[in-house]
Amino acid sequence: MVAAIKAQGGQAQADVHSVSDWDQAHAMVQTALDTYGRIDIVVNNAGILRDTIFHRMSQVEFDSVLDVNLRGVFYVSRAAAPHFKAQGSGSYVHLTSSSGLIGNFGQVNYCAAKLGVVALSKAIAMDMQRFHVRSNAVAPWAWTRMIDSIPAETEAEKKRVEGLKKLVPEKIAPFITALASDQAADISGQVFGVRNNEIYLFSQPRPIRTAHTADGWTPETVIERVFPMLRNDFYPLHRSGDIFTWDPV
């Protein structure tokens, strides 16, 4: 990758530290400082999958995904924070996933981590706003090494994988570049999605219905009055593919 960037006239420096370790994450940021003299943008895109149905998932499978996909985001972001604060500027872009935003089968670890990234991003945006530092989350759709382990044995699985292979990471980069630029200095705390030529702004949780009583609630009155009132607005157990049913454009 470094060679490819340099061949096109850019500058690049490889770093092999792990995001899942506090000290190594700080060393990674230090590499950027040693190479370029400052740091302006952090893109947290490191990720792994350890897909297993919930009742069979091991502690190692859960912890390893949280270590890279959530703790790693905190560690690298935290390592850059003092430098962003001191210079009064900086942009975080954290990669989340529709698996966390909507849900997916066999990904308890990944879903938990990726939805955690959204909350982490929002909290960073609020804490660092006073220093003119912004933080946003982006859900990308792209065929990469991380997801090439998806099984493709049945005809339905093969069809799904062939569709995923049409989603290329080159389509993600322009949006992240724009989001990290000075021209997006007023954008913070948002959740976006990029799927080939489609760009989404995702909603964030807000109350949609309210049940109120002046007398307070008992378990019986909740069952009798609240559940029937709210049930029509309950969300079904959709997976990401149930929502994004059309072919990417």
Question: pLDDT at residue 151 above 70?
Answer: no
CA distance 154 to 186: 47
Number of neighbouring beta carbons within 10 Å of residue 152 = 15
The mean per-residue pLDDT over the stretch 126-143 comes to 94
Backbone angles phi, psi at 150, to 5 degrees: -60, 130
- Catalytic pick among 36, 75, 110, 200: 110
Question: pLDDT at residue 148 above 70?
Answer: no
Structural domain contains residue 166? yes
Q: How many domains does the chain have?
A: 1
**Domain CATH code at residue 85:** 3.40.50.720
Structural domain contains residue 179? yes
Question: How sure is the predictor about 158, in pLDDT bands with cuts at 50, 70 and 90?
Answer: low
DSSP 99-162: HHHT--TTBHHHHHHHHHHHHHHHHHHHHHGGGTEEEEEEEEE---GGGTTS---SHHHHHHHH
Structural domain contains residue 8? no
Of 146 and 68, the structure prediction assigns the larger pLDDT to: 68
Q: Whole-prediction pTM value? A: 0.91
Please report the pLDDT score of residue 244 as a whole number: 87
* Per-chain mean pLDDT for the chain: 93
What are 140's strand-pairing partners? 194
Q: Which domain holds residue 86?
A: 41-206
Contact 68, 46 (CB under 8 A): yes
Question: How sure is the predictor about 74, in pLDDT bands with cuts at 50, 70 and 90?
Answer: very high
Structural domain contains residue 117? yes
What residues contact 3, with CB distance under 8 A and at least 6 apart? none
* Per-residue pLDDT tens over the stretch 4-38: 999 999 999 999 999 999 999 999 999 999 999 99
Question: pLDDT at residue 241 above 90?
Answer: no
110 annotated active-site: yes
What are 145's strand-pairing partners? none
Structural domain contains residue 2? no
Please report the pLDDT score of residue 194 as a whole number: 95
Contact 76, 24 (CB under 8 A): no
Q: Look at residue 72 and give its three-state secondary structure.
A: helix
Structural domain contains residue 33? no
Structural domain contains residue 83? yes
Structural domain contains residue 244? no
From 212, 40, 208, select the one nearest 133 (Cα to Cα). Answer: 40
Question: How sure is the predictor about 147, in pLDDT bands with cuts at 50, 70 and 90?
Answer: low
